Amino acid sequence: MAEVGALQVFDARALRRWARLACDELAQAAAEIDALNVYPVPDRDTGTNLHLTLRSAVDALDQGDHQAELGAALDLMARGALLGARGNSGVIVSQLLRGLADRFGREGPADGAALAVALSHATDLAYVAVAVPVEGTILTVARAAADAAMAAASTEARPRLAIVTRAAADAGAQALARTPSLLPVLARAGVVDAGGRGLCVLLDTLFTTVVGHDSRGRASPGRQSPVAPRRPGPAAGSVPVPVPDLSAPGRPQGLEITYGYEVQFLLDDADDAAVDAMRIDLAALGDSLVIVGTGPTRKPLSSPQLPPSAQLSALWKVHVHVDDVGAAIEAGVRAGRPHSISVTRFADQGTGGTPVCRAAESERTVLTGSWSGRGLVAVAPGPGLAGLFAGEGVEVIEGASVVNGRATRHPSAADVLAAIRRTGAAEVVVLSNHSTVTAIGDVAAAQAREGGQDVAVVPTKSPVQGLAAIAVADPSRRFADVVIAMAEAAAATRWAEITVAAREAMTTAGRCAAGDVLGLAEGDVVLIGNDQVKVTCDLLDRLLSAGGELVTLVIGADALIGFTDEVRAHLRQAHPGVDVMDYRGGQPHQPVLIGVE
């Protein structure tokens, strides 16, 4: 029997009702879903992560054009979910929303048949996004819901939305109940899959939005409650959904965490080939790898927060579990521009008495005895830079292992932690000297604090900023004052660099070809040329046009013979009042690093 007052076609207003209702219901269910969370790691955060992911999607809708049609609104919702995606399940849900945005209402009415096709496409995308799909998870629930929606859509020439959404929600619930039979870790813990439970909330609230009420007749926000239909529950004989014990202090025993850290970041400026290469690199480093993207670009999204050029740019969300945080972030650097980097140590996530990870186990063996004095730690990408920092009494970490003149990775959190402990100091300042190393330093600093050391990470983005910072490291001042002074000195140093393009790409200064010399200021490409000296001199002219009294040049391993003399000659002629200091840094990749103070 047809549901009285049910929607026949989904529209943008219905989408907003669904998004808000789903977000509210996930907030209510977050504690329950967190308690179910034993796979892939028992860190009790799946419900919270899903709620925060949907919260970000709702915020994107609220900040966008309220007159937008369904397709544009879905684009906003999917992008918002991707930007705010948290955890394994949150990233997968953002990809499911991306799939809906690709298909639902794009061609023809957004009716039951269109929804079934969109759900099927969304599930296909979610499976592709996961490096090693595992059954008994949110993917299983998504596939069952999509298959049931397609089957329901095939029963009528114009299948109704209510029939399709009810079939999807019911099949999702039945698949959720079967997850312990598909994934032994769930069966041992006596729970269903947490991510799948969260997806069932989305499916149930979608049904509620379409018919105007839930299965118990409670009205959907903004809709009058019609006569409540009877909605069937899970199939007879299926595994019952357990009620988790929210008071349990730990997770069930026997659930091993293979890797120590969850790394997530957004990735810009990456093409499909680069992302595929990154996927291979990350798969070799860890597990639980999920990479999702914004999909094909369309007309600019209506958002007051983003310019049209940013709205059209491709964007990827990367999630992986690893031991080597630095290597994971470096894989992102090779593919494009990683940002919004998040690193979570599972040992800090309330995993109770379960085995933690290889890295965490080794950390427990480190002595946490007496510390005294003050120390400095710096990341240096070349032997000359390492010598410069070491000459100032700084504990140096080689910032990259070099193979055939090419840097292969940044230091890991374990490398930074070991350097902090080698200082023997009670108070330690870490100079990251690269934007992607800052997050790694933060992880190491948190671990060092557990051992009794007071550690501050100064987020220097270039070694030239690090050199400026150590110049004001007065040991007679209070530690907090020194950290502030170092941070201010670093921030006052404008930094730039010259590098050589490894492949053809689109940059902020236009398209470059492999082998082109690129001039970067504060991380952005501003010049493209074919001569190291000319690009360097033009870049210095740009920087000094805003003022400056001191130029620092750190010469890299790839600088041409006579490079320093030619650049110095240009500065003497074009900027005679500027002092120049140059050092042999030996860093790979960048023929010169530049600092202007």
Domain ranges of the chain: 1-229, 256-295+310-364, 366-491, 494-596
Closest among 89, 252, 241 to 178, alpha carbons compared: 241
**Rounded to an integer, what distance in angstroms lies between the CA atom of residue 307 and that of residue 284?**
37
pLDDT tens digits, residue range 308-340?
A: 333 345 788 999 998 888 788 888 888 888 877
Q: Which residues pair with 527 in a beta bridge?
A: 519
Q: What angle do CA 462, 464, 467 make, to 5 degrees?
A: 120
- Structure tokens given for 259: 């890797």
- Structure tokens given for 312: 């059209």
- Structure tokens given for 241: 């959904």
Residue type present at position 301:
L
- Structure tokens given for 247: 């008071």
For the chain, state the CA radius of gyration: 27
Q: Is the dihedral of CA 542, 543, 546, 547 positive or negative?
A: negative
Domain at 256-295+310-364: CATH code: 3.30.70
Residues of the chain with pLDDT under 50: 1-2, 215-241, 243-255, 296-312, 350-369, 400-408
Closest among 438, 395, 439 to 420, alpha carbons compared: 395
- Structure tokens given for 248: 């349990």
* DSSP code of residue 264: E
Asked if residues 93 and 202 have their Cβ atoms less than 8 Å apart, the reply is: yes
pLDDT tens digits, residue range 442-469?
A: 888 888 888 889 999 998 988 899 999 9
In the CATH scheme, what architecture does the domain 366-491 have?
Answer: 3-Layer(aba) Sandwich (3.40)
Please state the length of the chain: 597
- Displacement of CA 245 from its chain's centroid (Å): 31
Q: Output the pTM of the full model.
A: 0.59
- Structure tokens given for 524: 């952005």
Distances (CA, A) of 163 to 7, 112, 154: 11, 8, 11
Residue with tokens 């939005």: 209
CB atoms within 10 A of CB 307: 9
Q: Is the dihedral of CA 404, 407, 412, 415 positive or negative?
A: positive
Name the 3-class secondary structure at 104.
coil
Residue 399, pLDDT score: 54
Distances (CA, A) of 213 to 18, 162, 219, 372, 540: 12, 11, 4, 65, 65
Residue with tokens 């003022």: 547
Asked if residues 124 and 98 have their Cβ atoms less than 8 Å apart, the reply is: no
**Rounded to an integer, what distance in angstroms lies between the CA atom of residue 61 and that of residue 187?**
39
In the CATH scheme, what architecture does the domain 1-229 have?
Answer: Alpha Horseshoe (1.25)
- Structure tokens given for 104: 């639902």
Asked if residues 519 and 538 have their Cβ atoms less than 8 Å apart, the reply is: yes
What CATH class is the domain 494-596? Answer: alpha beta
Residue 4, pLDDT score: 52
Residue 357, pLDDT score: 34
